[in-house]
Structure 1
């Protein structure tokens, strides 16, 4: 069996802005497809031409996809029941990434520090409401 876990975020109408934001943070290659660039014939809904049908960011160790949610009553992104875990080799790498998020409106919700299980661990919520967790196994310096 070949399995890959690839997170997908349905944004409440701001997918282009959010995916561009993540591109600034992670670098890599960002592809964005808007509904204006697709054939929506036969769709059970009428999307805004400027809405993002699909976006994909591929960077070192990361493949993140997303698009604009369709419908009237979409749930908010902000939640304490999930997070995206980023694992690093050193605390310096993790701290640098945390700095990229916080300098762009992210808010630390759990300080990045030694955890009871021996790793360095912390969390933040980005300006879109997505929770990101940061981990360095064994607390490697």
Structure 2
């Protein structure tokens, strides 16, 4: 198998909803497996059978993977500016369209998408799950 790097995100019980939303926004191929779909013998814990064990959203530009957090109700902050998912588009119009889909889905602007000092375009939007998406375009 060739080496690759994918982004993995654990969400507090909202992974299925988030990945289905992102699939609607960005397209791609969605593969989702819940713990109830698996053989659980030998696992060191008893997960909710409806919890997401593993999900991938394969896009032309890369893979986003994730699962539901198994933190037993601990405070699990998602919204932060310490990380973002950077999505690079071919045109500013394409980025604006994706940002608008996130906003229409209950998101909020983090930084307006506009021409950046380095000459390209850049902006940020938080989706309704608190994940910050950064958009870039030359």
Alignment TM-score > 0.5, same fold: yes
Runs of 4+ that moved beyond 3 A: none
Q: Is 2:91 the counterpart of 1:90?
A: yes
Correspondence for 1:5: 5
Correspondence for 1:46: 46
Q: Is the 8 A contact 1:12 1:74 kept in 2?
A: no
Shift of 1:76: 1.4
Question: Considering only aligned residues, what root-mean-square deviation do their CA atoms show, in Å?
Answer: 1.3
Shift of 1:74: 5.2
Correspondence for 2:122: 121
Gaps of at least 5 residues in structure 1 are none
Q: Is 2:33 the counterpart of 1:33?
A: yes
Partner SS state of residue 56, structure 1: strand
Q: Please, what TM-score do these two structures have when normalized by structure 1? A: 0.91
Partner SS state of residue 63, structure 1: strand
Matched pairs, number: 136
Q: Please, what TM-score do these two structures have when normalized by structure 2? A: 0.92
Shift of 1:134: 0.5
Q: Is the 8 A contact 1:10 1:67 kept in 2?
A: yes
Q: Distance in 2 between matches of 1:37 and 1:67?
A: 14
Q: Is 2:104 the counterpart of 1:103?
A: yes
